[in-house]
Amino acid sequence: MQKKPDQAMSLEEARISKETVKTISQGIPGMTDLKDEVALALASDAEYRVREIIQDATKFMRQSKRSLLTTEDVSAALRLRNVEPLYGLSTKEPLKFVKVSGNTNLFYVADKEVDLSEFIQKDLPPVPNLPSLMAHWLSVEGVQPAISQNPPPETSEMESGGKRKRDVSSEQPEFKPLVKHVLSRELQLYYEHVTKHIVGNDNAQVDLCLKSVAEAPGLQQLLPYFVHFVVTKGNENLKNLKVLKALMRLVHALLANPYFGIEHYCHQLLPVVLTCVVRKKLGKNQSEEDHWSLRDFSAKIVADISSRFSDTYPTLQPRITKTYLGALLDVQKPLTTHYGAIVGLTALGPNVVNFLLVPHIKAYTSQLEEELQQEPLTPIRKYELAKTYSAIMLAAGTHLNSGDFRKDGGSDEVMLSSKPDHGFLKALPTERLAAMKELMPFFETRYDSMTEEFGDSLEPFRNLKDFEMNTVPEAMTL
């Protein structure tokens, strides 16, 4: 295909002339006199190189969906051919070329004129700040704060126009690799020391470890590890009463530490603690081991969690009371489970007792009375009945000690300081009184009286210190 004459003429005019090469050579030392044949050969080669660069730059322009060639396209074409790009010509403003005086074929880029007097009168730029250090939180309990110093969270790429970019090359979802939680060597040694002695036999070391966990700051990174330890060991040692007691004391220490944000781990701790309250069997031999104190202490822990975090989790207390009430009303459950449900509801406070437990006390105590009158009863069964009956009486005392049920409208101080009146015992049948004294040896010293509302009539208890949360029962010490 032959070119048109006018097109050939335009290409001929576009070539670099030998005069241009000679003019450029004058600026190079030692090349003052360049022959015409050499200048013509250099001009032809330079023209070929320039055309290559322009063609590559045009490709970049078209790929960018533009119709105007820019200096960025030329720089990209130069980098493509391993040539150093041009610097100082990246501005998008059009360059103004001026002819050199005395030579009409030589041009240079005109610089902007600056008025020196105006430049001198300008205000000095602000002094840069001195180097300094500033601390900020990289993470708080594993969560990165959204502050300017931290990198922003990763977001998916967006197309121009606000639409999300869709990758159709692969249909398989991408999963980020798991990031290991790195602990310092000191925290690792501390965790190993505490977990080792918690399940050990050195009672003094156990007390020291629990005191340290309850008071020491700077242990926030160990909180998820302690929670995992309690959950794992609790499920593995349901027949080891000593380990269960130690784990419940560890939970109590975690709750006592003001530096822990333990509300984020309630859903992991509650199942283990509730298991220690209402499980059918705790330990290897319930007739010889004191699992009752474990149920009492675990009920206090559940009550503490409920009172502290019910505002954060509104469904927390309803779920706990539903678990307790379901265990109590199930006649197939053993007395140990009923006992745990009763002490659990009692620990939640008088309002829970008034609305959920009091309506069932009369019917439940009637069932206990029927079994108490049956003969013969094994010593273990008698003791279980006595513990369950005492838990019911403690719940009734909590109910009657509430403000709506005080006899003379007296204050708490009067009620708690008055001496118990056991005159009601004289009115009881001799057989019934003997049975009550046999099943509950401390009945006369622990309770005031009975009320007619429950068959034999119960009066409010004088002392409910067994349900204070600030002390650990002596039976719970290892």
CA–CA dist 191, 250 (Å, integer): 13
User: Of the segments 11-20, 169-178, 183-192, which one has the largest average pLDDT value?
Assistant: 183-192
Q: Would you place residue 383 in the very low, low, confident or very high pLDDT band (cuts 50, 70, 90)?
A: confident
pLDDT at 81 over 80: yes
* Residue 26 confidence class, pLDDT cut points 50, 70, 90: confident
pLDDT bin (cut points 50, 70, 90) of residue 56 is: very high
- Confidence bin at 154 (pLDDT 50/70/90): low
Cα-based distances in Å from 359 to 176, 355, 453, 464: 55, 7, 12, 21
pLDDT given at position 134 = 82
pLDDT classification of 229: cutoffs 50, 70, 90: very high
Predicted local confidence at residue 57, as pLDDT: 93
Per-residue pLDDT at 405:
42
Report the pLDDT value the prediction gives residue 239, as an integer from 0 to 100. Answer: 86
Work out the average pLDDT over 235-252.
90
392 has a pLDDT exceeding 90: no
Please give the C-alpha separations between residue 439 and each of 220, 336, 447, 456, in angstroms, as whole numbers: 48, 16, 14, 16
Residue 93 has pLDDT above 70, yes or no: no
Task: Give the pLDDT confidence score for residue 176 in this predicted structure.
Answer: 58
Residues 6+ apart with CB under 8 A from 422: 444, 448, 449
Q: In this predicted model, which residue has the larger pLDDT, 278 or 137?
A: 278
Which of 358, 382, 387 has the alpha carbon at shortest distance from 372? 382
Helices 223-236 and 185-198: crossing angle in degrees, nearest 10, is 30
Greatest mean pLDDT among 49-63, 110-124, 183-197, 409-423: 49-63
326-362 residues labelled b (16+ CB within 10 A) or e (exposed): ebbeeeebebbbbbbbbbbbbbbbbebbeebbbebbe
Highest mean pLDDT: which range of 2-11, 31-40, 44-53: 44-53
Cα 229 to Cα 463: distance, rounded to the nearest angstrom: 36
Q: Of 7-16, 171-180, 440-449, 451-460, which range is least confident?
A: 451-460
pLDDT in tens, 307-327: 999 888 888 999 999 999 999
**Domain coordinates in residue numbering, the chain:** 8-90, 320-476
Judged against a pLDDT cut of 50, whether residue 422 lies above it is answered with no
Q: Are 434 and 441 in contact (CB under 8 A)?
A: no
ω into 376 cis (within 30 of 0): yes
Task: Centre a 10 Å sphere on the Cβ of residue 256 and count the other Cβ atoms it contains.
Answer: 17
Of 461, 458, 396, nearest to 428 by C-alpha is 458
Structure-token pair, residue 40: 């013509």
Q: What is the rounded average pLDDT for all residues in the chain?
A: 75
> Quick check: 92 and 70 in contact, CB under 8 A?
yes
430 phi and psi angles, rounded to 5 deg: -60, -40
Is domain 8-90 classified as CATH 1.10.20.10?
Answer: yes
Task: Determine the pLDDT at residue 273.
Answer: 93
